Structure 1
Amino acid sequence: MYIRHLRCFIAVAEELHFGRAAERLGLAPPALSRQIGALEGELGVALLTRTTRQVSLTRAGLIMLEEAKGILVKIDHAARLVREASLSSGRVLRIGAIDAASSSFVPEALATFRERHPDIEIKFVEAMTAPLVQMLEAGKLDLALTRPPRKPTDCAFEILRVERPIVVLNETHRLARKEALTMLDLVGEPFVVPSKRIRPFAYDLVMAYFESVGAVPKVTIEATEKPAMMSAVAAGLGMALAPDWVSRLSFPGVTMRRLRGALLDPPPAGALLGVAWRPQQKLAARDTFLEILRDSVTLLDESQTLPYVPAPTIQRPMRAMRAHAGGAL
């Protein structure tokens, strides 16, 4: 007797209809019928009475239904205990992330992990790349979602996604009438940029996009955080470039547009978002969360509200590549 036989029998017994039970299980009705036949053959009794119009349980089937449910409850409980035991070395998972991660795919990943492993406590901290890497190296974090580390480190780093820029502009701006924009559309427009002192590599990333078309932005304000940048745009003080995850957010007076062909080759570190961890630390909970992260990134990329509009790749000048190589937020 196999577990799949019990699951198939319970589905038919609850639905009393082979078609509905097969759909519920993701099986073809003939395959489901064979599973039930195999179970009845092993037990040597009929569990179901079948006619052309209906399916009903025999007396033996009624007894089997209750017992099978109890067996599966115990099996599922045992499986959960085994999974939790494998997530050993402690009941706490310590995670750090930059805002680009914590505002995009990390919440979904955390929710999925908590649902599957409710007994594991999650400790979360948001910071910038440099302090997060330091915390990771010091053993204060189990993993960190960051830009590529600027300095050599013993930590492993896996790129999860390349962020694409979108244009953030006042909803009354004349360019808001366009479905998508190019970098040439932005030349000469007042611009709100990240603070060069607080977020130097985000600042350099904006400069690199303009440099790719032989221009520099007309900077009106340097904003430290995204809310300040959005407020300045809403006030009509300029437009801005932001990473694509910002398209999931809503700001009064602000609209967002796709940017055609704005991929720098190779992508600068400021556009790369990944996860770092210490490979010498064996931690099953962390490895499980890593797998969930990869799935969450895929779902994010499939659900972006402002899809990327393909265009020929912009080749970045070598001096810009050198200037931005190894940068991180």
Structure 2
Amino acid sequence: MFSLVQLESFIAVAEELHFGAAAERLNMTQPPLSRQIQLLERELQAKLFTRTSRTVQLTTAGKVLLPNARRIVDMSRKTSMEVSRVATGDFGTVVVGYTAVAGQSVLPEFLATAARELPGVSLVLREAVSVEQLDGLSKGTLDLGLLRPFTNRAGVETTLVKKDRLVVALPKDHYLVTGKGVLIKELEGLPLMMYSTSEGRYFHELVLRLFDSVGAKPTITQIASQIPALISLVAVGLGVSLVPAGSMQYSPDSVAFEELVGPSGLQEMNQSDIVLAMEETNANPAARRLKEIYLESIQTVEGPAIKGNRG
């Protein structure tokens, strides 16, 4: 059976793609590092790297192993610390998932609260889309998640921490950039940068509902799983997209934003809030303590406004 040392050695080489840099990172020399990789390959009966005199690359087998190896090592470290954790939750490790937008709009305040109120708690941060976070919460690989209310998942507790909505992202020189807002109908026929049906399922379904609510049909020309990728497509002029207002703060100057306007009921439908989620059976006292303190500390859950660009 492979060992944690072998997995840690593999992860270091896979991330550095250089045996010398990986050995330095692990405070060891290259020969024992190479030996650990050889033992792991022998145990798994698969070649994990292809090496030339200049490059190191992961094989297909190595690419399959990497996320699993990270998960095993993370769980091992987490378990080791949890065994010695005191019941108060003032010490320990909390694994926190967050979406790309939550990483900009919610995570900074969350981290500041943790550092100020629970200095003895170590945080392990994992960026992931909402559906992956829900899976992680259910499986116990995540303690807390900052995610979109993708779907009701049995056993997962959610609390609203930031209200948000979709806004229209357009190239800065687009004719719809007026500061008066954009109707869904005005987007019909325009090339739409759309969310993946798997990783971006929450937003994919929300966008379709918004179009359907006014009898419009989107013209989908590009698909991406992450919001920054969609904004980048808009930035180079390939089309328009509907993105959370919280993403405006890290968007390039070449992208402009307009509010979605329309008939009664549109605003109630146009909700892409961020929630703090936890598996209700989670036994990590530090995670429960952090959740409690953070929820007590937040003053508002309002989303950002489009400055100087609202009708």
Q: CA deviation at 1:172?
A: 0.6
Quick check: 1:160–1:273 contact (8 Å CA) kept in 2? yes
Q: CA deviation at 1:111?
A: 1.6
Q: 1:195, 1:279 → 2: CA distance?
A: 29
AA aligned to 2:241 is A
Quick check: 2:164–2:272 contact (8 Å CA) kept in 1? yes
Give the aligned partner of residue 140 of structure 2. Answer: 139
Give the aligned partner of residue 279 of structure 1. Answer: 280
AA aligned to 1:199 is G
Give the aligned partner of residue 24 of structure 1. Answer: none
Identity of aligned residues (%): 26
Give the aligned partner of residue 250 of structure 2. Answer: 249
TM-score by length of 1: 0.58
Give the aligned partner of residue 204 of structure 1. Answer: 205
Q: 1:88, 1:200 → 2: CA distance?
A: 35
AA aligned to 1:139 is G
Query: Residues 207-263 of structure 1, C-alpha deviation per residue, up to 9 Å, x if partnerless?
Result: 111111100112222233223322221222211110110122231411112222586
2:177 is paired with a residue whose SS is helix
Larger Rg: 1
Give the aligned partner of residue 98 of structure 2. Answer: 97
Q: CA deviation at 1:107?
A: 1.7
The answer on 1:238 being equivalent to 2:242 is no
Number of paired residues?
A: 226
2:222 is paired with a residue whose SS is strand
Query: Residues 12-59 of structure 1, C-alpha deviation per residue, up to 9 Å, x if partnerless?
Result: xxxxxxxxxxxxxxxxxxxxxxxxxxxxxxxxxxxxxxxxxxxxxxxx
C-alpha distance 280-99 of structure 1, shift in aligned 2 (>3 A)? same
- Which stretch shifts more, 88-97 or 214-223? 88-97
AA aligned to 1:189 is L
Q: CA deviation at 1:136?
A: 2.0
- Which stretch shifts more, 284-293 or 128-137? 284-293
Q: CA deviation at 1:120?
A: 1.6
Give the aligned partner of residue 59 of structure 2. Answer: none
The answer on 1:169 being equivalent to 2:134 is no
- Which stretch shifts more, 144-153 or 163-172? 144-153
Quick check: 1:247–1:304 contact (8 Å CA) kept in 2? no
Quick check: 1:181–1:260 contact (8 Å CA) kept in 2? yes
1:113 is paired with a residue whose SS is helix
Give the aligned partner of residue 129 of structure 1. Answer: 130
Q: 1:305, 1:140 → 2: CA distance?
A: 36
Give the aligned partner of residue 224 of structure 2. Answer: 223
Q: 1:279, 1:197 → 2: CA distance?
A: 25
- Which stretch shifts more, 166-175 or 153-162? 153-162
Give the aligned partner of residue 290 of structure 2. Answer: 289
Q: 2:228, 2:261 → 1: CA distance?
A: 25
The answer on 1:195 being equivalent to 2:181 is no
Q: 2:114, 2:241 → 1: CA distance?
A: 35
Q: CA deviation at 1:289?
A: 2.8
Give the aligned partner of residue 106 of structure 1. Answer: 107
Q: 2:112, 2:97 → 1: CA distance?
A: 15
Query: Residues 93-146 of structure 1, C-alpha deviation per residue, up to 9 Å, x if partnerless?
Result: 221122232232122111222123222211111212333223223333222223
C-alpha distance 185-178 of structure 1, shift in aligned 2 (>3 A)? farther
Give the aligned partner of residue 33 of structure 1. Answer: none
C-alpha distance 205-171 of structure 1, shift in aligned 2 (>3 A)? same
Query: Residues 127-178 of structure 1, C-alpha deviation per residue, up to 9 Å, x if partnerless?
Result: 1233322322333322222334647422322333443111100111111123
Q: 2:197, 2:303 → 1: CA distance?
A: 32
2:203 is paired with a residue whose SS is helix
C-alpha distance 108-264 of structure 1, shift in aligned 2 (>3 A)? same
Give the aligned partner of residue 79 of structure 1. Answer: none
Q: 2:218, 2:190 → 1: CA distance?
A: 7
C-alpha distance 307-172 of structure 1, shift in aligned 2 (>3 A)? closer
C-alpha distance 299-151 of structure 1, shift in aligned 2 (>3 A)? closer
The answer on 1:259 being equivalent to 2:277 is no
C-alpha distance 118-305 of structure 1, shift in aligned 2 (>3 A)? farther
Quick check: 1:158–1:274 contact (8 Å CA) kept in 2? yes
Quick check: 1:190–1:219 contact (8 Å CA) kept in 2? yes
| 5+ residue gaps, structure 2 | 1-84
Q: How does 1:69-88 map to 2 (within 5 A)?
A: 87-88=88-89
C-alpha distance 220-302 of structure 1, shift in aligned 2 (>3 A)? closer
RMSD over aligned CA atoms reads 3.3
Q: 1:302, 1:296 → 2: CA distance?
A: 17
Q: CA deviation at 1:300?
A: 5.9
